[in-house]
A and B are shown apart, each in its own frame.
Chain A
Amino acid sequence: MDVPLQNLSYEVNVAISRENVLEWIRTFSQVIDENNVYLTDLDREIGDADHGANMNRGFKAVMTKLPSMETSDITGILKGVGMTLLSSVGGASGPLYSTVFMQLSKSFAGKEQLELADWCAGWEAAEQGVQMRGKAIPGDKTMVDAMQPALEALKEAVAQNLPIGVGLRNSADAAHQGMLATIPLVARKGRASYLGERSANHQDPGATSTYFLLDSAAKTWADC
């Protein structure tokens, strides 16, 4: 090997590129496809048994449209994903996941590549957007319970100037913890809230797919 390891890691430490974003979306689509039944089963227990199917329908539509987005910049790609989800998912996850991608798109406007601080700012906008659209706060047993700790981990990583790959891994791990922490909660938002106390002891499907989204980013960009 004629390239010093030091330099190699510096090379790839720079930022998240347009191609990286496309790869993240492809990875997440595949994860959703593989976990379709798992997500639907989680939803069957406390909701209406459609979360996996809805997310899979949405990201199948995204995969169909992705080739036409491939020449766009980062903000254009993410906006395209958001609009596609809005018209193909339905339910609560349609507007909410659409909001995630639309907010990321807005936040990354004009950027050709993303530093960890950009990603963190985008995620902050996404979390605020989801809270506003869904009127949920942390502890309601929703996707916010995975988003919020992930955001805190990202902020921490930015403050400590950690490499992108480490920051993303920390945020995915935090989302995983947040997802597990929804298990004992009694739902206060979404269809699970109709069950009252019976919604406890079940993992929230939305928090689970949100963890997959962050985990896909961490896996796709592990070397960044």
Chain B
Amino acid sequence: MKKLINKPEDVVLEELQGIELAHPDIVKVFYDPNYIVRADAPVKGKVGLVSGGGSGHEPMHGGFVGMGMLDAACPGAVFTSPTPDQMLEATKAVNGGAGVLHIVKNYTGDVMNFEMAADLAKEEGIEVQSVVVDDDVAVKDSTWTAGRRGVGLTVLMEKIVGAAAEEGRSLKEVADLARKVNAQGRSMGMALTSCVVPHVGKPSFDLPEDEMEIGIGIHGEPGRTRMKLQPADKVTEMLLTPIVEDLPFKAGDEVLLFVNSMGGTPLIELYIIYRKAVQMLEAKGIKVTRHLIGPYITSLEMAGASITLLKLDADLTKLWDAPVKTAGMRWGI
């Protein structure tokens, strides 16, 4: 498998060095333990937002650090949760006195490491709250399992909650808002190809040329079903229908529609999916008032796409529109 890397074990370090050189106006990068904080951290009196996860999902999370979004991101090894010492240092670095919110995607490792980091931060006198994102309808939700994965909604949550923290809302308000976003959003993804983790060097799963995998996560883990490749409109239906039925989204709802590339799928195909999704939603009386299209939460070079739907209200819409200046998302400034 061909990759533009030097050595597999240097991938994350060299990526961080690139980010540091590219965006000194937006972020500061710290090493050993690795974390990225916004250039003006800590912002006095503002709730600090910390997220993190395995690398390989760029621009998430490091590309979302900056004004109006995250205060810090902790990059783990590729597809591996970061460690509590990274999260603790990041939490301390962004604590402006108003407490810190951890935004955690619902994966066993991420949850455990963030729990341990929150315990350590509390021992040091920092007020910490945690919100777990679990928006993937492809996973059966059950108290007996690890529950649903955190996927596309994470991006929208980080933007909206980041704007609320920037406004000066309290830790409790910001945490409640994050839980509200989680309650009102759903996602599902699919893959046309697998991805190749650099230190593994072979595809994470084998997918024949004429087949696709429905209900994949963002770590190259196989999905729930595999089938013959279908046209884009049919695939859009297969992703969007379970999303709409799960919440459920109803006639009269205003929504943000997020069509995401898993890394290898080009914009031209995302717009085809977006077009069909809007048509389907309009037919149900659901109004798409905001959108996001592009590669924002990826799975290395995987070809495929995910759809996320978030039910909006006036407050969420205002926060979505608020200015943001990060490497991966920038508007209103």
Q: Which residues of A contact B (CB under 8 A)?
A: 40, 44, 47-50, 53-54, 57, 86-96, 133-134, 187-191, 193-196, 198
Contact = CB atoms under 8 A, between A and B. Distances in A.
A94 B84 CA distance: 10
B82 A189 contact: no
13 contacts: A44-B200, A48-B80, A48-B197, A48-B220, A50-B79, A50-B200, A86-B84, A134-B108, A187-B145, A188-B144, A188-B146, A189-B146, A194-B146
B88 to A, nearest CB: 10
B85 A190 contact: no
Interface of B: 33, 54, 76-85, 107-109, 112-113, 116, 138-140, 144-146, 149, 197, 199-200, 204-205, 217, 219-222, 224
Contacts of B81: 90-92, 94
A95 B77 CA distance: 15
Contact of B109 (A92, A195, A198): A92
Given A57-B77, A193-B146, A194-B149, 9 more contacts: A89-B83, A90-B80, A91-B76, A91-B80, A95-B113, A191-B219, A191-B221, A193-B145, A196-B140
B224 A198 contact: yes
Nearest to B199: A53
Given A90-B77, A90-B80, A90-B113, A190 B221 contact: no
A56 to B, nearest CB: 10
Contact of A44 (B83, B138, B140, B204): B204
A44 B205 contact: yes
Nearest to B74: A90
A198 B138 CA distance: 13
B204 A48 contact: yes
A44 to B, nearest CB: 6
B116 A96 contact: no
A142 to B, nearest CB: 9
B77 A54 contact: yes
Contacts of B80: 48, 50, 54, 90-91
B117 to A, nearest CB: 10
Contact of A40 (B84, B138, B149, B200): B200
Contacts of A196: 140, 224
A195 B222 contact: yes
B181 to A, nearest CB: 22
B204 A49 contact: yes
Contacts of A191: 107-108, 146, 217, 219, 221
Contacts of B205: 44
Nearest to A133: B112
A86 B109 CA distance: 12
B78, B82, B109, most chain A CB atoms within 10 A: B109
Contacts of A57: 77
Contacts of B79: 48-50
Contacts of B85: 86-87
Contacts of B139: 194
A191 B54 CA distance: 14
Contacts of A96: 112
A53 B112 contact: no
A90 B83 contact: yes
